[in-house]
Chain A
Amino acid sequence: MSLFKDANIQRKIVEAFGISDLPEDKQAQVLARAGELLIKRLFLKVADILSPEDRNSFDQMLGQEPPVSEDQVSSFLTAKVPNIENLLREEINEFASEFRM
């Protein structure tokens, strides 16, 4: 299962931001932006954890044209970053605590 399509992760996002009472169009707006920012935060964390070589590989992977699949990135991160799921959950919590509505 892709790291980013885990239902638990998705549930965590909705819970963390406290947006389940919002209309769905507003939820979509928040989640679209929150998801983007969350991935950016995760990438910054991952960059700290990865070795310089792995970081460079990861960068090359992201810069490929056409873009690599989501599963490829997910597999790379799962392989290179221990407890990536936990890291993602921590990021969600931390991010949401700063920006909760």
Chain B
Amino acid sequence: MENKVLRSAKDIAMEKANKMDNQKPENAEPKTVEDKVLRSAKDIAMEKAGKMGNDKTKTAESEAAEDKPLRSANETTVEKTEIDVKKGQHDRTETATPQGEGEKHIDKAIQDILDAEDNLKKREKSHNRFSEIVFGFKSVFEKKKEVSPEEKAQVTKEKEEAVKKLSEAKNKLDDLIKKRAEEDHEKGKAGKELIDEMMDAKMKLVNARIERETEQMPNTVKKLKKTMDWWHEQKWYTQVGLTACLILGGGELAAAGGIATVAGVLMMGGGTMLDALGATAGVESMVGSFQKKSRVKKGLTKEAKAEETKTALTEEINKEKDQGRFNDFLKKFDTYDKKLDGELDKVFKIENKQNRNKWILAIAAGMTVGAIGVSRAMAKGAEGIAEGTKAGGRTGFVHPEVRAMDEEKLANIVEGGAETRISEKMVQSMSEDLARAEKLSQNIGQGAEKSMEVAARSTERTLESLESLAGQVTGSPDKFKSVIEAGSSQWKTAENFLSKGNVLGFNTMNEAQKTHLIDSVLTKIGKTDMVKPGDVMDFGKFFENSKALETVMESNKGIVAGSKKFLNIMENNAAIEKLTVANQGKSIIDKTAKAGETFATSLDKVPTSVKVAKEATFNAIKEIGVSVKNLPEFAGESGVWARTSDMSVYKFMEESAKKTIQMREKVGGTTNVFTKRAMNGNEEKAINFMRDYITKIGDIFRNPKKGETVMQYINEFRKANGAASYNKFGVPVMKEGLTKVKPVLAGPL
């Protein structure tokens, strides 16, 4: 093994040496150190080989004998070239055993040869790499030399153009981004402003409604103000979302209330009152459901619709204002009508009153229907006249707007050119109007002064009375107590008490103030529903709290003649008076019902006016497209008593009737105007009918509980009273053996 290895190394050395010899001229002197090393290595190798040939082992000999008897060193070396260097290196390591001096030299020589070979390879590699680099550069240089100046200029030009295009594109992009940012900013700003305006408009609308409809709801107004403050604190995106919701919901709310009340009265006229309540609640639910679906369908309001919505809101606000003025206007007519009726009754016979009024209505209808046609023609004519005036024509017609002009403008017109000249007759007419207006203004001023004087006197009286009462209240002495006499009532008893002692200047108050004070007293002392003769009323409680007393009197002094509150109270009093007269002499009745008897037999005949109301309402509902057939279905849905929770059932019925009649006019348009008039005060009759109805069977009605639904109320009512059936007029038929108790009729309900 050892020898074999050595031989291999030897072969390699010989091969190398021989190879090198072949590459060099014969007997050439070594020139470089490397050559010297290789030459000496060869010599050494030859020497060693000779020595090894003499000292070879049996194995080596038998091996050699099998091939050739004796081979030259050269021959042997050539034949061993297939052995790789690495193998030799490996073997060399393995053979690191103590050797003789000669062997060490050979090893050293072999090592030197191998090292030299490695170095040579490295140098060759390095040289090749260098050549590559050099030739690469050369190639590039040569190539560069081939580009002509024109081509170079072209390339430069193209490069510049590309750079230019890129710059332009970048600038355009910058501009675009900037423009977009500015647009977004402006859009956002405009949108925000628009939304603010819309919201303000919406809130004004809400305020207008509240002011008009709920004058006695300061808490609601406060809440609204709070809401407004809260609104302005919100982020814009919250405002956008909420605005959308409000817009989508608000516009339909009025319709909801209107349709519901119409439906309620339809049922009231034909079915039972309780069914009417159910219908009201049901339709409210229906409309609520419709609103919900509508919101989903429409999605959030987009900015694009904001302007349109704003315009619509503004129009709605204006309509509300106009409607308010209009209602006030008609109310004045109502008051004046009563006055005229009173005067006519003095001049003409009462027994002819009904036919006379029918005749008046017929004549008025004929006359005014024609007037609408004239008005229409006038409106069209006015347009033509306006055009004619522009063209320099002359006219004797004065548009109502011109009539409203003040004196200064009027003078300008009169003194102006032919284009603006108006007839002398019209000038006179307008001057007369102005004079009347001035007179009216003076009257109003005088009236206000007079009212203030009255109020001041009232305050003085109040203070005097309060001083006189101070310290006399403790322990509720007998002088503050009164006994209810037979045929009297709590109201009358209170009135007598206040009148007898001229308490708080009662006897010098106007009728409305008296009503207000009596009502306040009864509320304070806790008016009960049922009293009987001999019961004692203690008014001392009313005077115990001087601060509360002052509040009542402060309110009382504001009820000056002609004020809105004054008129309301007086109207209410008139209605009650009729009712009181109708029930005069009726006393407390305890009665056991018989099977089939109704609660109120006297009401079995439904007044014609109510039937007419039903028909008119039916037509009105048809006009607005609500399916009457479906109404009972909706009646089954729940409706919350929220808005009626603080009302008595009497009050609710009354309000419901009023609103319904208003609604019928609204939805019915012109066709219902004369129908309503033909009903000849139907509103009042309908309300009185309901009042009468409830009064007759009032003890079985109870005020709704807060949060109770309409259907719950109705079901409880039916269960409690066993009124499983109703007669054809919707009056519940009594359960056998049920005891009904009529309450004492005691002043305002």
Contact = CB atoms under 8 A, between A and B. Distances in A.
Nearest to A62: B356
Nearest to B375: A14
Given A9-B367, A40-B360, A97-B433, A26 B326 contact: yes
Contacts of B347: 43-44, 47, 55
A9 to B, nearest CB: 7
Given A34-B368, A101-B326, A20 B379 contact: yes
Contacts of A39: 360, 363-364, 367
A36 B340 CA distance: 10
B607 interface: no
B376 interface: yes
Given A37-B336, A99-B336, A31 B372 contact: yes
A2 B363 CA distance: 10
A15 B367 contact: no
B666 to A, nearest CB: 9
B368 A35 contact: yes
A43 B363 contact: no
Contacts of B358: 67
B370 A7 contact: yes
Interface in B326-382: 326, 329-330, 332-333, 336-337, 340-341, 343-344, 347-349, 351-352, 355-356, 358-376, 378-379, 382
Contacts of B330: 29-30, 33
B352 A14 contact: no
Contacts, number: 155
B677 interface: yes
A4 B362 CA distance: 11
A90 interface: no
Interface residues of A, number: 50
Interface in A17-62: 18-22, 24-41, 43-44, 47, 55, 59-60, 62
Interface string A5-19: 101011101110011
B673 interface: yes
A47 B365 CA distance: 22
B355 A28 contact: no
Residue from B326, B360, B665 with most neighbouring chain A CB atoms (10 Å)? B360
B368 A31 contact: yes
What secondary structure prevails in chain B residues at the interface with A? helix
A62 B379 CA distance: 36
Contacts of A5: 366-367, 370
Interface of A is mostly: helix
Given A32-B368, A35-B364, A97-B436, A27 B375 contact: yes
Given A25-B673, A73-B363, A99 B436 contact: no
Nearest to A101: B329
Contacts of B372: 24, 27-28, 31
Contact of A63 (B341, B352, B361, B371): B352
Interface string B374-414: 11101100100000000000000000110110000000000
Given A27-B372, A43-B344, A67 B362 contact: yes
Given A29-B330, A99-B333, A24 B670 contact: yes
B325 interface: yes
A83 interface: no
A27 B400 CA distance: 14
B634 interface: no
A70 B363 contact: yes
A13 B404 CA distance: 16
Nearest to A29: B673
Nearest to A66: B355
B669 interface: yes
B interface residue count range (under 10 / 10 to 19 / 20 to 34 / 35 or more): 35 or more
Contacts of B326: 22, 26, 29, 101
Contact of B375 (A20, A41, A59): A20
A29 B330 CA distance: 8
Contact of B378 (A14, A37, A40, A70): A14
Nearest to A46: B347
A86 interface: no
A36 B677 contact: yes
Contact of A67 (B355, B371, B677): B355
A42 B113 CA distance: 151
Contacts of B362: 67, 70
B674 interface: yes
Nearest to A96: B433
Contacts of B373: 10
A18 to B, nearest CB: 4
A15 B333 CA distance: 18
Contacts of A27: 371-372, 375
A14 B367 CA distance: 11
B551 to A, nearest CB: 37
A25 B670 contact: yes
Interface in B219-250: none
A69 B37 CA distance: 158
Contacts of B382: 20
B641 to A, nearest CB: 32
Nearest to B379: A20
A75 to B, nearest CB: 13
A91 to B, nearest CB: 12
A22 B348 CA distance: 36
B374 A10 contact: yes
Nearest to A99: B332
Contact of A19 (B352, B363, B375, B674): B375
Nearest to A38: B364
Contacts of A35: 363-365, 367-368, 371
A5 B343 CA distance: 26
Contact of A36 (B361, B369, B375, B403): B361
A72 B599 CA distance: 48
Contacts of B367: 4-5, 9-10, 13, 35, 39
Given A34-B368, A60-B352, 19 more contacts: A10-B373, A10-B374, A11-B378, A13-B367, A14-B371, A14-B375, A20-B378, A20-B400, A21-B400, A29-B326, A33-B333, A38-B364, A39-B367, A62-B348, A67-B355, A70-B366, A97-B433, A101-B325, A101-B326
21 contacts: A5-B367, A10-B368, A10-B370, A11-B371, A11-B374, A24-B372, A24-B670, A25-B673, A28-B369, A28-B674, A30-B329, A31-B369, A35-B364, A37-B337, A39-B363, A43-B360, A44-B344, A59-B349, A63-B351, A63-B355, A67-B362
Nearest 6 Cβ contacts at the A-B interface: A63-B352, A35-B364, A31-B368, A10-B371, A35-B368, A18-B400
